[in-house]
A and B are shown apart, each in its own frame.
Chain A
Amino acid sequence: MPEALLQIGEPGQSVAKSACQGRVVGIDLGTTNSLVAAVEGGRPHCLADPAGRTLLPSVVHYADDGSIIVGREAQRLAARFPKDTISSVKRFMGRGADDAEARRTMTPFELASQPGDPVVRFRVAGGQREVTPIEVSAEILRVLGERARQALGGQLEGAVITVPAYFDDAQRQATKDAGRLAGLEVLRLLNEPTAAALAYGLDKQSQGTFAVFDLGGGTFDISILKLEDGVFEVKSTGGDSALGGDDFDRALAGILLGEMGRPDGGGDRVLVRTVIDAARAAKERLTPEEATEVVIDRFRRKVTRAELEAAIRPILERTSGPCRRALKDAGLTPADLDGVILVGGATRTPLVRQHVRALFGREPLGDIDPDEVVALGAAVQADLLAGSGPRDDVLLLDVIPLSLGLEMMGGVVEKVIPRNTTIPCGAKQVFTTFADKQTGFDLHVVQGERELASQCRSLARFFLKGLPPAPAGVVRAEVTFLVDADGILRVTAREQSTGQEASVEVKPSYGLSEDEIERMLRESYEHADEDVRVRLLTEQRVEAERILAATRAALAADGQLLAGDERARIEQAIALLDRLKAGLDGGAIRQAIEALDQASQDFAARRMNQVLQREMTGKRIDEVEKKL
Chain B
Amino acid sequence: MAACWSCDAPTGERVVFCGCGAIQAPERGLDHFAVLGVPRRFELDARELEKRYKELTRKLHPDRFARADARARRYSLERATQVNDAYKVLRSPVRRAEYLLKLEGIDVADEKEGGKGLDPEFLMEVMAEREALAEARAAGARAQLDQMGAKMRARREAAMAKVAQGFARGDRAAVERELKALRYYDRFLEELEEHEEAAAHA
Instruction: List A residues at the B interface (Cβ < 8 Å).
Output: 6-7, 9, 12-17, 20, 157-158, 187-188, 229-231, 321, 324-325, 328, 384-387, 393, 395-397, 421-427, 482, 484-485
B66 x A6 contact (CB < 8 A):
no
State whether A426 and B81 are in contact (beta carbons under 8 Å apart), knowing that A13-B69, A15-B69 are contacts in the complex.
yes
- Asked if B20 is at the interface of the complex by the 8 Å CB criterion, the answer is yes
What are 21 pairs between A and B in contact, CB < 8 Å? Answer: A7-B7, A9-B6, A9-B7, A13-B69, A15-B6, A15-B21, A16-B67, A16-B68, A17-B67, A187-B67, A230-B58, A231-B58, A321-B201, A324-B200, A384-B63, A386-B67, A396-B63, A397-B61, A421-B84, A424-B81, A426-B85
A485 x B21 contact (CB < 8 A):
no
A324 to B200, alpha carbons, bound, how many Å?
A: 9
Please provide the 7 A-B residue pairs with the shortest distance between their CB atoms, ordered closest to farther: A385-B66, A485-B62, A6-B8, A424-B81, A15-B22, A426-B81, A425-B84
Say how far B75's CB is from chain A's closest CB, in angstroms.
11
Interface of A is mostly: mixed
State whether A13 and B71 are in contact (beta carbons under 8 Å apart), knowing that A325-B197, A395-B57, A423-B84 are contacts in the complex.
yes
A385 x B77 contact (CB < 8 A):
no
A482 x B81 contact (CB < 8 A):
yes
- Asked if B80 is at the interface of the complex by the 8 Å CB criterion, the answer is yes
Residue of B nearest to A9 (CB): B6
- Asked if B54 is at the interface of the complex by the 8 Å CB criterion, the answer is yes
State whether A13 and B6 are in contact (beta carbons under 8 Å apart), knowing that A229-B54, A386-B66 are contacts in the complex.
yes
A231 x B84 contact (CB < 8 A):
no
Say how far B92's CB is from chain A's closest CB, in angstroms.
12
A485 x B77 contact (CB < 8 A):
yes
B 40-86 contacts with A by CB, 8 A: 54, 57-58, 61-64, 66-72, 77, 80-81, 84-85
Say how far A9's CB is from chain B's closest CB, in angstroms.
6
- Asked if B88 is at the interface of the complex by the 8 Å CB criterion, the answer is yes
Contact for B68 among A17, A229, A325, CB less than 8 A: A17
B58 x A422 contact (CB < 8 A):
no
Contact for A328 among B66, B87, B197, CB less than 8 A: B197
B200 x A385 contact (CB < 8 A):
no
- New contact pairs (12) apart from A15-B69, A386-B67, CB-CB < 8 Å: A16-B21, A16-B72, A17-B69, A20-B67, A231-B57, A321-B200, A325-B197, A386-B66, A397-B57, A424-B77, A425-B84, A425-B88
Say how far A160's CB is from chain B's closest CB, in angstroms.
9
State whether A13 and B5 are in contact (beta carbons under 8 Å apart), knowing that A421-B88, A484-B77, A485-B77 are contacts in the complex.
yes
Residue of A nearest to B17 (CB): A15
Report the interface size for chain B: residues with CB under 8 A from the other chain: 33
Q: Which residues of B contact A393 (CB under 8 A)?
A: 58
Say how far B24's CB is from chain A's closest CB, in angstroms.
11
B6 x A14 contact (CB < 8 A):
yes
Q: Which residues of B contact A7 (CB under 8 A)?
A: 7-8
Say how far B193's CB is from chain A's closest CB, in angstroms.
8
Residue of A nearest to B5 (CB): A13
A15 x B54 contact (CB < 8 A):
no
A217 to B54, alpha carbons, bound, how many Å?
A: 35
State whether A485 and B80 are in contact (beta carbons under 8 Å apart), knowing that A6-B8, A15-B6 are contacts in the complex.
yes
Q: Which residues of A contact B88 (CB under 8 A)?
A: 421-422, 425
A424 to B61, alpha carbons, bound, how many Å?
A: 8
Contact for A395 among B58, B70, B81, B200, CB less than 8 A: B58
Q: Which of A15, A188, A423 has the most CB of B within 10 A?
A: A15
A426 to B88, alpha carbons, bound, how many Å?
A: 11
Q: Which residues of B contact A397 (CB under 8 A)?
A: 57, 61
A387 to B68, alpha carbons, bound, how many Å?
A: 10
A188 to B22, alpha carbons, bound, how many Å?
A: 22
